[in-house]
A and B are shown apart, each in its own frame.
Chain A
């Protein structure tokens, strides 16, 4: 029981971190960025390359991963989202193609086989029969810290409020003198950086493989859809629902069924309550 609670908390923290960047982009302009998972992929591999292949300090590796992720986000916005003018049919397809391109790019550079990432912080702690690797604990703590600071950033700062305004009504925001292009750039940059950071933790939680972008994408989709658009609190709550359900299903029913609940949740919520459990009215 204690084991389920501890593992559930750790996994949920990681999931909340993974979904955060996706929520930001989906909230601004309903852009379905199917290449979101590749931030995690690239972030993980950048960290692997600098800290494990070149032997740089781990913190430098993490920083470089975040910078590369943010740069990818900006490039994606400039080169794909803006030319396609936020279209709801072409952007999901273009980003899906991009995701496959990046996946094969990683295969081209690093090869097809999976790689084990050394834990960011070595060592484990045993609490009541549950093993807690320090890097998972760090991921959970970091994710809480980031979520809280993001909450304050969006609600208290001028830029954050401008982001909210653009996500509610782009035209109205433009009339009030907000440069929505600049806000979009900032959001895409943050999203990419967060995704890459989540990738470092996610890769040390599982493994580094070229196809590791699919699972985080599905998880973020589920969290955003169920939590509702533009709701950080919703994201946090649903990340915990999904994280705990996965751990419970794995521990009590069957490990193979761990994703089934997530899928049923996505389908059910989209059919019954498309605005999500905590989101605002729309569609």
Chain B
């Protein structure tokens, strides 16, 4: 897998820094960090499913929502223990992701993006109407059992989950499977021509992405303690996830994390100046400029600058 000593050193440094964070910053900042952690999980999941294979999903909240709703309904309505309900939620999300497979076998590009968008709108409308006694209808559910109390515990929980996801995905993407997934994004026909089954690879990407999305969604709902359809199945939520993954740098693991932290921070920083949804004006504007300038994101910009510095030194 081509692991080098500096990989371990960088990860170790990052982990130590992140775990020391509660001693360094205030409780309010810590809550921002929790949201950044969850956003990073969702962005990594989106990146595994879409960023690498090029099958852009605009319906990622569909997967997150399945995970979140499954565990919320199980714990609240049927008194299932969290330890059991979260694995069930993850499995259900993975089953739900197979709905994406069918279109992905026939259509590519813009059309696939449209189907996933339609899936999200479909579930948004169905959740409110079908069995409102279970899903809580339009208003959603509140009073769901939470895993942690207080900002510090919540931070450790979300951080551990985020790091576990990030490191395992990082290792996975360094294997040959990861390389093949990125190759699909570049040229699907030539991957097929090399004798690899693109159907199986896509299935693998979707199931892995769904696994992470379901896990993130389930933990997220047990952190928040409430769930509402409009907040979840929303095009603005899709926007936040995709922007985090792309601004940081898709097809990397560090990229979505950087993007999630950068954007959550930007949003918090703007709060004193623009309290409401107007913040997205600046946030989206910055995202758009970065994206048009470099579609591969901040990661690529930094790497290019680093290369330039190095070649400048040796010359």
Query: Which residues of A are in contact with B by a Cβ distance under 8 Å?
Result: 30-32, 79-80, 83-84, 88-90, 92-94, 96-98, 100-101, 103-105, 107-108, 112, 210, 214, 218, 221-222, 225, 254, 256-257, 259-260, 263-264, 266-267, 270-271, 274, 283
Number of A-B residue pairs having CB atoms within 8 Å of each other in the complex: 127
* Known contacts A96-B239, A221-B117, A254-B129; A263/B106 CB under 8 A: no
Is B96 at the interface (CB under 8 A from chain A)?
no
Is B284 at the interface (CB under 8 A from chain A)?
yes
A88 touches B110 (CB 8 A): yes
Q: Using Cβ atoms and an 8 Å threshold, which residues of chain A touch B119?
A: 263, 267
Of all chain A residues, which has the CB nearest B281?
A104
Is B249 at the interface (CB under 8 A from chain A)?
no
Of all chain B residues, which has the CB nearest A260?
B125
* Known contacts A94-B291, A267-B115; A256/B125 CB under 8 A: yes
Scan B118-158; emit 1 where CB is below 8 A from any A CB, else 0: 11011001101100000000000000000000000000000
B129 touches A256 (CB 8 A): yes
Is B242 at the interface (CB under 8 A from chain A)?
yes
Other-chain contact of B54, A89, A103, A112 (Cβ < 8 Å): A89
Of all chain B residues, which has the CB nearest A263?
B122
Of all chain A residues, which has the CB nearest B119?
A267
Is B113 at the interface (CB under 8 A from chain A)?
yes
B103 touches A257 (CB 8 A): no
Bound-state Cα–Cα, A283 to B239, Å: 27
B125 touches A257 (CB 8 A): yes
* Known contacts A263-B121, A270-B111; A100/B239 CB under 8 A: yes
Secondary structure at the A interface, as helix, strand, loop or mixed, is: helix
Bound-state Cα–Cα, A188 to B27, Å: 49
Q: Using Cβ atoms and an 8 Å threshold, which residues of chain B touch A107?
A: 276-278, 281
Known: A254-B129, A270-B118. 9 other contacts (CB 8 A): A32-B110, A221-B118, A225-B111, A225-B114, A256-B125, A257-B125, A259-B121, A267-B115, A283-B108
User: What's the minimum C-beta distance from B303 to chain A, rounded to whole angstroms?
Assistant: 19
Scan B253-277; emit 1 where CB is below 8 A from any A CB, else 0: 0000000000000000000001011
Q: Using Cβ atoms and an 8 Å threshold, which residues of chain A touch B284?
A: 97-98, 100-101, 104
A96 touches B122 (CB 8 A): no
A101 touches B129 (CB 8 A): no
Q: Using Cβ atoms and an 8 Å threshold, which residues of chain A touch B315?
A: none
A108 touches B278 (CB 8 A): yes
A97 touches B291 (CB 8 A): yes
Bound-state Cα–Cα, A32 to B108, Å: 13
B242 touches A266 (CB 8 A): no
Q: Using Cβ atoms and an 8 Å threshold, which residues of chain B touch A100?
A: 235-236, 239, 280, 284
Q: Using Cβ atoms and an 8 Å threshold, which residues of chain A touch B287?
A: 97
Is B87 at the interface (CB under 8 A from chain A)?
no
B242 touches A93 (CB 8 A): yes
Q: Using Cβ atoms and an 8 Å threshold, which residues of chain B touch A214?
A: 235
Q: Using Cβ atoms and an 8 Å threshold, which residues of chain A touch B64?
A: none
B278 touches A104 (CB 8 A): yes
Of all chain B residues, which has the CB nearest A88?
B109
User: What's the minimum C-beta distance from B89 to chain A, rounded to whole angstroms?
Assistant: 23
* Known contacts A32-B114, A104-B281, A256-B125; A270/B292 CB under 8 A: no
Q: Using Cβ atoms and an 8 Å threshold, which residues of chain A touch B22?
A: none
A104 touches B279 (CB 8 A): yes
User: What's the minimum C-beta distance from B270 to chain A, rounded to whole angstroms?
Assistant: 11
Q: Using Cβ atoms and an 8 Å threshold, which residues of chain A touch B125?
A: 256-257, 259-260, 263
Q: Using Cβ atoms and an 8 Å threshold, which residues of chain A touch B288?
A: 94, 97-98, 101
Bound-state Cα–Cα, A263 to B58, Å: 14
- Interface residues in B50-75 (C-beta closer than 8 Å to A): 54, 56, 58
B280 touches A256 (CB 8 A): no
